[in-house]
Amino acid sequence: MKRLDAIFRNFRLLLAQVSKQLETTRRLLGERSDELTRGLQSSENYIDTQRAMIENDCYSLIARNQEADDETISVLRAVIIVVGNLERISDYSINTVRQARQLQDAQRLRRYEYGEYFELLATGVSLVEEALIGRDSEMAMRICRIEEKLDDLYRNDYLEILHELRDSSEPEPLVLSMFCLHYLERMGDALLNIGEAILSAAVGERLKVQQYGMLDKALSSGGGLARPIDDVDVSSIWGTKSGVRVGAAQATTPEGPRRVLFKEGDPEKLRKELASLERWEEIAPGLAPRVVEYQQKETEAALLLQFLEGRTFQDVLMNSEPPMCEQARTRIEQTVEGIWDRTRESELINAHYARQMSDRLEDVFRLHPRFRGSDVQIGAVKAPSFASLLSQARGLDEELPAPFSVFIHGDFNIDNILYDSLTDRLHFIDVYRSRRQDYVQDVSVFLVSIFRLPVAEPRIRANLNRAARGFMSFARRFARERDDATFEARLGLGLARSFTTSTRFETDSDFANVMRQRATLLLETLLEHHGSPWADYHVPDDVLIY
Span 518-544, average pLDDT: 95
Is the Cβ–Cβ distance between 406 and 344 less than 8 Å? yes
Query: Can you tell me the mean pLDDT for 537-543?
Result: 94
CA atoms within 13 Å, Cβ hemisphere of 367: 18
pLDDT at 217: 66
- Identify which of 233-237, 366-370, 492-496 has the greatest average pLDDT: 492-496
pLDDT bracket for residue 23 (50, 70, 90)? very high
Each residue's pLDDT tens digit, 462-519 = 999 999 999 999 999 999 999 999 999 999 999 999 999 999 999 999 999 999 999 9
Residue 378: φ, ψ to 5° = -120, 105
Is the pLDDT at 66 greater than 80? The verdict is no
- Coil/strand/helix, residue 102: coil
C-alpha–C-alpha distance, residues 253 and 266, integer Å: 30
- Of 350, 394, 362, nearest to 496 (Cα)? 394
pLDDT at 108: 62
SS3 469: helix
DSSP sequence for 358-373? HHHHHHHHHH-GGGT-
Q: How confident is the model at residue 326 (pLDDT cuts 50, 70, 90)?
A: very high
Q: How far is CA 195 from CA 137, 205, 313, in A?
A: 9, 14, 40
Is pLDDT at 282 greater than 60 in this prediction? yes
Contact 402, 439 (CB under 8 A): yes
pLDDT confidence tier of residue 151, bands split at 50, 70 and 90? very high
pLDDT of the residue at 211: 66
**Strand ranges of the sheet holding 417-420, from the earlier edge strand across to the other edge:** 311-312, 417-420, 425-428
Q: Can you tell me the distance from the alpha carbon of 488 to that of 482, in angstroms, rounded to the nearest whole number?
A: 13
Comparing CA positions, the residue from 34, 25, 43 lying closest to residue 95 is: 25
Structural domains present in the chain: 2-204 (1.20.58.220), 223-306 (3.30.200.20), 311-544 (3.90.1200.10)
Which residues partner with 295 through β-bridges?
A: 302
What is the pLDDT confidence band of residue 197, given thresholds at 50, 70 and 90? very high
For the chain, the average pLDDT equals: 87
CA distances from 64 to 57, 58, 201 (A): 10, 10, 20
Burial class of residue 179 (count of CB atoms within 10 Å of its CB; 0-12, 13-18, 19+): middle
> Per-residue pLDDT averaged across 24-46, rounded?
84
Phi, psi (degrees; rounded to nearest 5) at 139: -70, -35
In the 8-state DSSP scheme, what is residue 208?
A: -
DSSP state of 108: G
Percent of the chain with pLDDT over 70: 88
Q: What pLDDT score does 106 carry?
A: 56
Closest to 10 (Cα-Cα) out of 66, 74, 56: 56
Specify the 3-state DSSP secondary structure of 88: helix
How sure is the predictor about 304, in pLDDT bands with cuts at 50, 70 and 90?
confident
- Rounded to 5 degrees, φ, ψ at 261 are -95, 140
Distance, in Å, from the CA atom of 308 to the CA atom of 295, rounded to the nearest integer, reads 21
Evaluate the CA torsion angle 215, 221, 226, 230 in order and state its sign: positive
Residue with the larger pLDDT of the pair 82 and 33: 82
